[in-house]
Chain A
């Protein structure tokens, strides 16, 4: 069995991000954890398209055609990065307003909704 070291690295990165979201108490650290989760998934998606001895999938004028890596995951990851940017912007804006209303960034003190 081959050692899929790059996929295991992505999985470790995903778990680190998930740990951040679950166990940190500061709101900004939770947002950073979410960012790490998104990085891990995007990296995994790009690595899926790797081919042995492939080059970057760009064709210029007068270049000899040789094996390339898969370009579809790169286009999909571009879309996913844009979506991640929009979500991060929205969550940071909400976090700034939460700080204004509650006065703290500690998530254990922001618990008015219960039950």
Chain B
């Protein structure tokens, strides 16, 4: 995070250093509480992707790609989808596809309740977050081929 020519001005870079971690934390909060309050996998995934994109916009694409490379994003995305499918297939233990097979469903409005829904939320968050970041990175990278250097 030391390259003063690339990316945006010093003010933006300072604020980004302060807020990127908070945005990531907020996104994780929305994903984990998806079954109690509004939000869930997709909204949380978008916010997590936004934190990485914020990093890319403020500092230039090399810094962001060092944190999460494109190959890693691609693998995370497919991993999220396969996790979701595995959870759905495990429902066959109970007899039906996609069954909520946890025996103790917990109290309503608690964090550990509602069976498989939080785990599905995490899988969706992985897929959406990695996917959005990969889309943005590829579009930026594609344009970056004509002009060398910054965005």
Please determine if A and B sit in direct contact within the complex, based on CB atoms under 8 angstroms apart.
yes
Binding site for B on A (CB under 8 A): 58-61, 78, 82, 89, 92-93, 96-97
The 10 closest A-B pairs by CB, nearest first: A61-B109, A89-B135, A82-B42, A96-B142, A58-B38, A78-B42, A93-B139, A96-B139, A60-B109, A58-B37
Interface size class of B (residues with CB under 8 A): 10 to 19
A-B contact count (CB 8 A): 20
Q: Mark B77-115, 1 if CB is under 8 A from A, else 0.
A: 000000000000000000000000000000011000000
- Asked whether B72 is an interface residue with its Cβ less than 8 Å from the other chain, the reply is no
Q: Mark B116-151, 1 if CB is under 8 A from A, else 0.
A: 000000000000100000010011001100000000
CB under 8 Å from chain A, chain B span 21-51: 37-38, 42
Nearest to A78 among chain B residues (CB) is B42
Q: Is the interface of A mostly helix, strand, loop or mixed?
A: helix
Alpha-carbon separation in the docked complex, A97 to B38 (Å)? 38
How far is the CB of B121 from the nearest CB of chain A, in Å?
13
Nearest to B107 among chain A residues (CB) is A61
A-B contact pairs, 20 of them (CB 8 A): A58-B37, A58-B38, A59-B109, A60-B37, A60-B109, A61-B108, A61-B109, A78-B42, A82-B42, A82-B128, A89-B135, A92-B139, A93-B135, A93-B138, A93-B139, A93-B142, A96-B139, A96-B142, A96-B143, A97-B142
Binding site for A on B (CB under 8 A): 37-38, 42, 108-109, 128, 135, 138-139, 142-143
B37: chain A residues at CB < 8 Å are 58, 60
